[in-house]
Structure 1
């Protein structure tokens, strides 16, 4: 607690109490925390003082507090301690943009000579006392046992809740586990509901760790719902106009009224009664803190039901009128964000003054000098510029990184008033607003539309309210049909979310652990992960449930006891009969499915088939063969020129070709014109009938299996009828208890399996990985071989596949251009599985490489399935042509011709291509010639707009300096 935090009532204290308070202030001033606090321009909050005192006392600390609460003050105190003790401090962030931002902040405080920046390719003053870096860079340092780690005293892990990220979260746990014991950890997290659990794990792996949780939001948050053109408070107010936890009854009544109207209209009874009810409902919104003649349902007629959804321009005008700008409008769609800007432009919205317009245009035009003139039109630069000039913009992953940085800078300075963003902004750099608008409470997760969770709602609304600027923040939810105010209140009231580990061993992690620690110590390290910690904790509750279930099972056994014999045995026989009957009925279905699978595998490009059954595509021609024999998927073009895919699950009967047609080697099946040509060729060949390959019936072997299953059923029935308990008059009563026993026994066995499955799960996965690596020659007798050493330097989702291709010699004769294309093949992941054939490659070398890559991937996939490991994603050629065009010198839009890829996505993938090429370029000791060619390939990719990431400017640089537009080539994958 701050020494003077309780002295505001000094005049009420007794002389002895005033003396004690004076002593506390004197003692506090002598501490490092006191000296640090005295140098600040604002008083430290209670949680900041508490966490800092724990640090000064030598503890690690986990600080969990809401966004904007000032957690970084604790990190700054850790840096203060490091400087005072002559030690180093590392400040890690999850993304490069945050690292750049923090570097600039720390340079402003401590000077450039004391601060360094490490983000992959960028190495600025790396031996400084304070070094800012991405978490991946620190992980790589730890594995490489870098000398930069010497004299390290403190590590700040900002946004540590990122360890829940399923793609990159494991990096945080690796760092926490591997940091030297002497290092004090400062973990900064958003408010999570299981901070104590996470702190308990930190205590086991890092030693004494204090957990400091603050629920206080420094800027109060008001929740609203927009219905029609009116703004309603979500919660009702007290007499002092403070929000309660009770949903605004006026809003509830309005929602119920709208629902009744909707139901009446749905049943075809709109009538006068419904319209009258609309005209008479109304009233004044609760807790209005602004002028009473603006917004709300203030006695005037409500709009008709069709007008209850407000348009985006109307929403902006409403917020502007209510004084709620600047705002971030979250729209869970890139296209939706872009459309919102277009709608605001079309509506003639203009939110900026003439002076602001001039400042905006100066910033935009200066930053855009790195864009080629011919790219500006194609990239939509002028529309983007016009939106910014008027005060609004979009922000999403498909946007050009340069455009995103301009938006971030202008929004941070208050020049841009409205940003329409996807949810990725909620995890990005610091961009607070006065108001956050959530358009819908449903989002598409890649497979289906789902309600957003309380955690996601908390993350989104955490942006609302700028500390030191706004007295209060605001969240606005837009009305949608079916919206339930109570459900919104539930999201708003639960402002925390659990932190769950996403940690899992990888091939790269395995060889690094084996090299440094050996097999047994590596297993122990993995068993100390947060993932295993959480699994072990869950086991305790399951074990208690098993005990209760076993007690109930004993009671069931007593109730089903039969005087004629063992009823447990009889019940088992009865269940076996039931299972055998079901198995027999499924047997022919299995045979039919196998026949369908075999028929799909036999199909070749050019085969003409007739697709009936559930798909009912009619006459179609095969344009891509099955590929994977265990999961065949055949691409076809229908008579109508449609591109479709056939799989085993979708077919009712085996497929037999009825004719054939010669097709060109290069099939442009994405083009409607070319698909029409293919359909035409098919029609021309229909008359040349080909005899069917098979009659479509199941193979004979499967019919034998049917007969065997039926014989087994007869045998079991005879055995059942011969059992003594079959003649018991109480048989069905006993069977009722037996059914309960069997059901509970199955549940109990599942729980026992869960306990066994969750014990040592991480270590057992590691064992399976080591076994597979041994089979592939990367490990021998638990030691990493020469082949395995190259895998230590290759990171990514396809790390082992890349290493396999390296060892195969595929890259030995590749030019830099080919290497860039191969890297594109190995990093890219398509958003959908729309690629059903392998296109022609840009070079003969890459054409041959495509088959070699597929062959190695198929070998790896089979091994992974057999080892019960996560299957490596199949390489996808969708990025190869754009990257090769780019390295050949084409402009951005030319490079993307024929592709649906957004410019921002291309740059993001190009940076990942560079990252992989950089990893291969680090193999100087084992593959010096390849390393040289990879460096050249990386340089070819790293040009123009791809090379530009962001300009890291020192505080003393002026905007009109000659080097303001200097391109900093930072690590492009962090």
Structure 2
């Protein structure tokens, strides 16, 4: 479509006429495609202006008399976009739906989280009538391993007439993703733009000196040539290390640096760093620190300094913004929330921003930063996701982050997403990414991250209970399988299988060629090919048998450890000789049933936690036993101290000497193969090195052929295999039943599960069906429901039912919930489905106190008493999730069911005070 005529795209002309700036070529092409009735996938760097395309989709829908849903992955981004669109289209035209917040939901334009739209599709909501456009902001989120499937469910479930505008960060397989969307939704324009409107410069801060990371390109040189690391930077670091070597050695210096960086402030002098940035003209800045504690420590470090970044008139403007955001807080909550320290930091021009903060605080920081009244923000990576807080520079103190399971290196995609915040369009001529040098940070590695501009988008789509129930209810079993085959996950699998089939064909041809070459080489040396092949085959068979024996030995060892762990009982003493925690251990609680039984133990160094198969080389032997009174509460510190004292006085000692694995039993078959090899006529033949090398290569190629054949057979059916396993669980538990025509239908019981959108959806539905939550008071119901949501932020689980404060009804319901969890997991284990996470009672006391009308201080104190130090932001976040699940329960059960009424009253009890103000 031509862009020359102003009349060829009347709606685009009308849209751009109200903008105060001209649009870029990629924005124009995407908008033209939308006006032409096509879907679009726009991939562009952070800050490039992708949202202009989404805003044009909104404009188009309104101009055509249709409706537009604007979806985002997080509530904060939905709130921000809601306010942006409100200013343009007015209150009567714009609504907001985020699960716990509903404003003008019948408006023609509604901003929502992607999960809300997914739920609408499954419920066949009347709100979908008249929907003409959907904007999917941050659509690359479908790679998220926890929530990514939601994006695919929406793309697959929307009516074909709906035009979808998908906005993504730059990904290296944009064409593949676009091909998939075209396959499932029809004509879709893929528009990729890798140009940053504000150029980004890469730096390293070494001590007090700022260096450019790359050499400046030579005039007239190839702009696309690989950029070289700045030689001055490399020399300076080398001299710095040599200087360290002269005063104690590089390794000692490195060790000292690591120890120093292990303190709570992370080892970086932030006031000095900020002074360097200010001297270079690089403020305002976002300093990304990958932990909440690290952000708070950085903030406190600045508070202890004489750092002041604002002028007096700016301080007054800060106070006005802060007062507006604090207007809804209860007066008594200020001390608990640390308002004075928070305000004092803002008045000096710096702040923290992370999920542990109260949302009101985060929103105030975002507003102040956007107004230029906060010069430095210490933030976790959540700030990089869509929230409109660009800066002149972005600082990275480390290139390692915790991903929820372990500390991992930043990927090029994550580096790009984080540094993409640098450079404010229309304000800055250029943006700056600054990496703080430490001995662990190698400039070449930083250059590799900065030079890799894209990352591949991989599907995380996988069948789950709620998904399966809703798909079968809407499409039947066959239709559900057909939808699975249309998923991006299957699309990518099919693409990979094409490549695997090609490699299989190549490998097969290579194998035939090697056979011919081996025959010719053997003939030249007068070697009997059949005998030589037989001998080589015998060697390969021995190698396979040895590998199999090692595997069997390992599995047998694990089975033996499993059996011994399962047999341990309370009070028995064993020795733990592997894993992170070692020493003499007394069993506090017998193991649970399962593939990896994990008894709860107390070690002689005071550590308490569950140990499993990975903690043992050999099966644990019972070394003795100490008496633990039946009524002893092994969850209490006092009881544990007494048990530890009894263990110390018992005289039981750990075995001396190095732990050795048990000797392997003889393998008669393998011994026979080795004898045949030694007596074979070719065994003593010499001068056959070339033939052996050729046969080794042939064996490798043959193994590749076998592996590729297996992969092609298996990968095509994995999604459906997983789906069938999920369905088998649902059938056994009577959520699905045969309909008399050879298919399955949702039972009345299954209707409840269809409406539960939770990671523990099956457990929630089973608890409702078992009636273990019936008859609870509103505050007790809120507490018990929280146990299937909450995840303690600590290594060892220490908040069991027995240690719960509160009344017997709550404890009985929690005990019943655990029984249902165990029974449900047994069913899942039989069918090979990943088991549901164990309920966690760590938030029960806090939400119970809050729902009962206690103060914020008392509710947070109740959590602390249970061993969970909750930040105000976490407190609000978990309460929001409790409200969300209570509402699902209320809407899922029969309105006449007393549980529905209890859930409604529980929501009212939780939705108050600071929680209510945060819900807007």
Aligned to 1:896: 863
For structure 1, the residue ranges without an aligned partner over 5 or more in a row are 4-23, 271-307, 691-695, 951-967, 969-974
Question: In 2, Cα distance between the equivalents of 1:810 and 1:941?
Answer: 21
Q: Tell me which moved more, 600-609 or 128-137.
A: 600-609
1:431/1:26 CA distance change after superposition, 3 Å? closer
Question: In 2, Cα distance between the equivalents of 1:50 and 1:623?
Answer: 66
Aligned to 2:470: 512
Aligned counterpart in structure 1 of residue 103 of structure 2, from 124, 136, 142: 124
Aligned to 2:789: 827
Deviations, residues 319-350 of structure 1 (Å, cap 9, x unaligned) = 22232211111111211110111111111111
Aligned to 1:226: 205
Deviations, residues 195-250 of structure 1 (Å, cap 9, x unaligned) = 11111111101100001112221222222221221222223335889997343322
Question: In 1, Cα distance between the equivalents of 2:387 and 2:452?
Answer: 24
1:235–1:243 CA contact under 8 A, matched in 2: no
Helix, strand or coil for the counterpart of 2:303? helix
Helix, strand or coil for the counterpart of 1:496? coil
Question: In 2, Cα distance between the equivalents of 1:629 and 1:813?
Answer: 32
Aligned to 1:787: 749
How far apart are residue 719 of structure 1 and its match? 6.1
Helix, strand or coil for the counterpart of 2:611? strand
Residue pairs, 1:674-823, within 5 angstroms:
674-682=639-647, 686=650, 710-717=667-674, 736-781=693-738, 782-823=744-785
2:43–2:174 CA contact under 8 A, matched in 1: yes
Q: Does 1:937 align with 2:906?
A: yes
Deviations, residues 533-557 of structure 1 (Å, cap 9, x unaligned) = 1111111221111111112222333
Deviations, residues 887-928 of structure 1 (Å, cap 9, x unaligned) = 233333323222233232222122111111111010243762
1:237–1:243 CA contact under 8 A, matched in 2: no
How far apart are residue 493 of structure 1 and its match? 2.3
1:2–1:44 CA contact under 8 A, matched in 2: no
Aligned to 2:621: 655
1:139–1:174 CA contact under 8 A, matched in 2: yes
Helix, strand or coil for the counterpart of 1:873? coil
1:309–1:480 CA contact under 8 A, matched in 2: no
1:487/1:521 CA distance change after superposition, 3 Å? same
Deviations, residues 412-446 of structure 1 (Å, cap 9, x unaligned) = 22211111001111115211111111112222334
TM-score by length of 2: 0.89
How far apart are residue 596 of structure 1 and its match? 3.6
How far apart are residue 834 of structure 1 and its match? 0.5
Aligned to 2:564: 599
Question: In 2, Cα distance between the equivalents of 1:900 and 1:52?
Answer: 49
Q: Does 1:104 align with 2:83?
A: yes
Aligned to 1:878: 842
1:64–1:190 CA contact under 8 A, matched in 2: yes
1:943/1:668 CA distance change after superposition, 3 Å? farther
Question: In 1, Cα distance between the equivalents of 2:605 and 2:237?
Answer: 47
1:495/1:720 CA distance change after superposition, 3 Å? closer
1:241/1:409 CA distance change after superposition, 3 Å? farther
Q: Does 1:204 align with 2:183?
A: yes
Q: Tell me which moved more, 100-109 or 54-63.
A: 100-109
Helix, strand or coil for the counterpart of 1:794? coil
Aligned counterpart in structure 2 of residue 390 of structure 1, from 324, 341, 348: 348
Question: In 1, Cα distance between the equivalents of 2:883 and 2:250?
Answer: 61
1:392–1:419 CA contact under 8 A, matched in 2: yes
Question: In 2, Cα distance between the equivalents of 1:569 and 1:519?
Answer: 51
How far apart are residue 34 of structure 1 and its match? 2.2
TM-score by length of 1: 0.84
Deviations, residues 662-695 of structure 1 (Å, cap 9, x unaligned) = 3464636574x653232224456x38x99xxxxx
Question: In 2, Cα distance between the equivalents of 1:120 and 1:679?
Answer: 48
2:241–2:250 CA contact under 8 A, matched in 1: no
Q: CA RMSD in A?
A: 3.3
Question: In 2, Cα distance between the equivalents of 1:33 and 1:653?
Answer: 72
Deviations, residues 344-383 of structure 1 (Å, cap 9, x unaligned) = 1111111112122122223223422443444332332221
2:601–2:610 CA contact under 8 A, matched in 1: yes
Q: Tell me which moved more, 610-619 or 138-147.
A: 610-619
How far apart are residue 577 of structure 1 and its match? 3.9
Aligned to 2:262: none
1:711/1:389 CA distance change after superposition, 3 Å? same
Question: In 1, Cα distance between the equivalents of 2:66 and 2:498?
Answer: 42
Aligned to 1:542: 500
Aligned to 1:628: 593
1:186/1:712 CA distance change after superposition, 3 Å? same
2:601–2:608 CA contact under 8 A, matched in 1: yes
Question: In 2, Cα distance between the equivalents of 1:71 and 1:194?
Answer: 18
1:236/1:838 CA distance change after superposition, 3 Å? same
Helix, strand or coil for the counterpart of 1:477? strand
Residue pairs, 1:70-219, within 5 angstroms:
70-219=49-198
Residue pairs, 1:365-444, within 5 angstroms:
365-444=323-402
Helix, strand or coil for the counterpart of 2:833? coil
For structure 2, the residue ranges without an aligned partner over 5 or more in a row are 253-265, 520-526, 654-658, 739-743
1:125/1:400 CA distance change after superposition, 3 Å? closer
Question: In 1, Cα distance between the equivalents of 2:634 and 2:324?
Answer: 42
Question: In 2, Cα distance between the equivalents of 1:38 and 1:376?
Answer: 47
Q: Does 1:351 align with 2:343?
A: no
Aligned to 1:255: 237
Q: Tell me which moved more, 556-565 or 774-783.
A: 556-565
Aligned to 1:918: 887
Question: In 2, Cα distance between the equivalents of 1:947 and 1:875?
Answer: 26
1:716/1:252 CA distance change after superposition, 3 Å? closer
